Structure 1
């Protein structure tokens, strides 16, 4: 089952690339000092629950209401060992999911390469499934270190497992719109 789930996760992520090109993103978010800009659908809502974090989701009553894309800037102690910082944050997030959910299954874990505007960053990504209060969820996590600052940009797409494939093109389009500043 684990091999089949990992294969399906990889196929979903791969097939969403073409679909992401059809998604219309018209709103822009990128406060000064946050180190990035991202586009999101104009009919989605944006909430900033804590400093340097933002959550986007569809409006109540829409199919996208139960899916979220979030980005959080996480300060790291060591700005020189970027791969270790990424792996440490991924392990922390996986541990938190293990503690707060049931049936956690990591479907895939791979490097993630960001290359845009002369900035090339190697980070990490993971897709996992879990249950929370009896509901099944799937989550795609991408962690990218800021090139010249002790900060990780943690991008997370979460949705009910049955809605994940339909919402994935929007999430991927948002991720593809992400522009990280090189400083």
Structure 2
């Protein structure tokens, strides 16, 4: 699979199902969960128009406000509740895997947020499980993109004001930011691994986009992350 295959929605869905070619057995309903791939380039202009002009910078978008319509994703047994802009789409390409993106044809379509339920390698130690899941995700990306660069990796706790901010019952997670060269330009991914306190599951949240889009849609991705609440399964 190559980045140019993401040029159409059909190819994007196909690659989202295939992911990085890595399947991890889930703990709920025996689900198999695929690692979501990065977004790809948009379709090239029709032949005869000439070379593509350099992509213009994209202005940061405003995150959803308290009075803006939202869409809620909270299926039974998945263990969490997500809020997203009302015009964003929800795709479930594999069991216990969801991909959220802007409307097809918009820049936001190429700045997806995904969440996957992954099996905790150490059910007796949620924090260590989150660290292990994130490390495995990082190394899977490195195997696919040898020029991967880790920008930072730190502890994760929901910040004050977030849906789960201040919850003492939640063990700490891990987060990282990585870059790699893509066909359409540099690509950045922010990944967050959140363990559950009483279930052998780690939720892996990712936000991925080409660098020219990453900062523009970061306010929406952050709002989705901050509004993410873990529930009892």
Q: Give the TM-score taking structure 2 as reference length.
A: 0.66
Q: What is the SS of the residue equivalent to 1:153?
A: strand
The one-character-per-residue Cα deviations of 1:61-97 (angstroms, maximum 9, x if unpaired) are 2120111100000012431111221111111111111
Structure 1 or 2: more helix by fraction: 1
The one-character-per-residue Cα deviations of 1:108-127 (angstroms, maximum 9, x if unpaired) are 11100134484433100001
Q: What is the SS of the residue equivalent to 1:149?
A: coil
For structure 2, the residue ranges without an aligned partner over 5 or more in a row are: 1-59, 159-163
For structure 1, the residue ranges without an aligned partner over 5 or more in a row are: 1-15
CA contact (8 A) 2:98 2:115 kept: yes
1:56 matched residue in structure 2: 100
Q: Give the TM-score taking structure 1 as reference length.
A: 0.83
Point out the structure with max Rg over C-alpha: 2
Q: What is the SS of the residue equivalent to 2:217?
A: helix
Structure 1 or 2: more strand by fraction: 1
The reply on whether 1:34 has 2:84 as its aligned counterpart is no
Q: What is the SS of the residue equivalent to 2:157?
A: strand
Q: What is the SS of the residue equivalent to 1:103?
A: coil
1:89 matched residue in structure 2: 133
2:179 matched residue in structure 1: 129
The reply on whether 1:167 has 2:220 as its aligned counterpart is no
CA contact (8 A) 2:72 2:83 kept: yes
CA distance in 1, matches of 2:187, 2:121: 31
The reply on whether 1:73 has 2:117 as its aligned counterpart is yes
Q: What is the SS of the residue equivalent to 2:199?
A: coil
Indicate which of 144, 168, 176 corresponds to 2:226: 176
1:99 matched residue in structure 2: 143
Superposed CA RMSD: 2.1
CA contact (8 A) 1:107 1:127 kept: yes
How far residue 36 of structure 1 moved from its aligned partner, in angstroms, is 0.1
4+ long deviations beyond 6 Å: none
How far residue 21 of structure 1 moved from its aligned partner, in angstroms, is 6.5
